[in-house]
């Protein structure tokens, strides 16, 4: 097995840091920080540098970058509350959380969807030189994220949406897009979770694809200047 290249590791770390900074900045910009009521950003453009890691350096660097980003997101969300994580989640969902629920949370909400960004490395051979590869990489990443998020919605967060709908029916809360989708699906949790998660994943995928396509020539120039890309020829 080939060892990791130090230069590529450094650039991978830089791109992960860029993703984190972009994520923080976007969260404070009105319009760009729009998200679904129960989680899921419409414009998750922090995804861009993570996908670029795989496209430029290959699968192992992409998966490593995605895994580090997953750890960042989990620690950012829960590290401060780790000692009371179980009781916090139980108060949110209204169900008793076991160690398996928490393992599922870590896997389906963090490790799988964020590490999946590195799957762009499967298209490393022609990396940014082909628009087709950019589209395929975003599609693959988005599909894995959607499957993981849908499983999470069914297995872990079903009681949350049911609780929210009950509050709306009681008149103590206002209906939102999540409760409306759930009721329009006649309470079918699988359909609800699939449709709910497809909305923000699709919007993010479209925006990310367009941005990468628009800047790819410049990115190829940069990788050439850094001697990270063996060829700068571009084709459709």
Compute CA distances 87 → 34, 37, 97, 98, 193, whole Å: 28, 21, 8, 11, 24
CB 236 within 8 A of CB 132: yes
The continuous run of DSSP H or E covering 224 comes out as helix 189-225
Q: What pLDDT sits at residue 93? A: 66
At residue 138, does pLDDT exceed 60?
yes
Q: What pLDDT sits at residue 85? A: 63
Domain regions of the chain by residue span: 48-225
Q: At what angle are helices 99-106 and 85-93 packed, to 10 degrees?
A: 90
CB atoms within 10 A of CB 144: 17
What confidence category does residue 11 fall into, taking pLDDT thresholds of 50, 70 and 90?
A: very high
**CA distance linking residue 57 with residue 209, whole number of Å:** 18
Compute CA distances 112 → 61, 99, 147, whole Å: 16, 18, 10
**Coil, strand or helix at 129:** helix
**CA distance linking residue 204 with residue 139, whole number of Å:** 11
Q: Which of 68-72, 92-96, 135-139, 145-149 has the lowest mean pLDDT?
A: 92-96
What confidence category does residue 124 fall into, taking pLDDT thresholds of 50, 70 and 90?
A: confident
Is CATH 3.90.1200 the right assignment for the domain spanning 48-225?
no
**CA distance linking residue 86 with residue 212, whole number of Å:** 39
Exposed (0-12), middle (13-18) or buried (19+): which is 79, by Cβ within 10 Å?
Answer: exposed
CB atoms within 10 A of CB 88: 14
């Amino acid at each position: 097995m080939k060892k990791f290249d130090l230069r590529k590791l450094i650039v991978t770390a830089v791109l992960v840091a860029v993703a984190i900074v972009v994520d923080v900045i976007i969260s404070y910009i009105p319009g760009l920080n729009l998200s679904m009521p129960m989680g899921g950003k419409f414009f998750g453009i922090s995804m861009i540098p993570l996908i670029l890691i795989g496209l430029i350096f290959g699968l192992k660097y992409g998966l490593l970058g995605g895994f580090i980003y997953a750890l960042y997101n989990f620690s950012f969300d829960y590290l401060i509350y780790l000692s009371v994580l179980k009781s916090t989640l139980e108060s949110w969902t209204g169900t008793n959380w076991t160690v398996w629920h928490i393992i599922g949370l870590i896997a389906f909400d963090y490790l799988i969807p964020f590490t999946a960004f590195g799957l762009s490395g499967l298209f490393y051979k022609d990396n940014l030189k082909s628009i087709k590869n950019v589209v395929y990489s975003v599609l693959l990443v988005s599909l894995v994220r959607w499957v993981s998020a849908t499983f999470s919605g069914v297995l872990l967060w079903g009681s949350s949406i049911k609780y929210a709908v009950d509050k709306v029916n009681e008149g103590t809360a206002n209906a939102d897009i999540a409760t409306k989708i759930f009721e329009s699906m006649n309470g079918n949790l699988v359909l609800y979770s699939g449709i709910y998660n497809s909305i923000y994943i699709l919007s993010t995928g479209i925006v990310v694809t367009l941005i990468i396509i628009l800047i790819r020539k410049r990115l190829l120039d940069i990788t050439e200047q850094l001697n990270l890309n063996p060829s700068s020829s571009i084709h459709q």
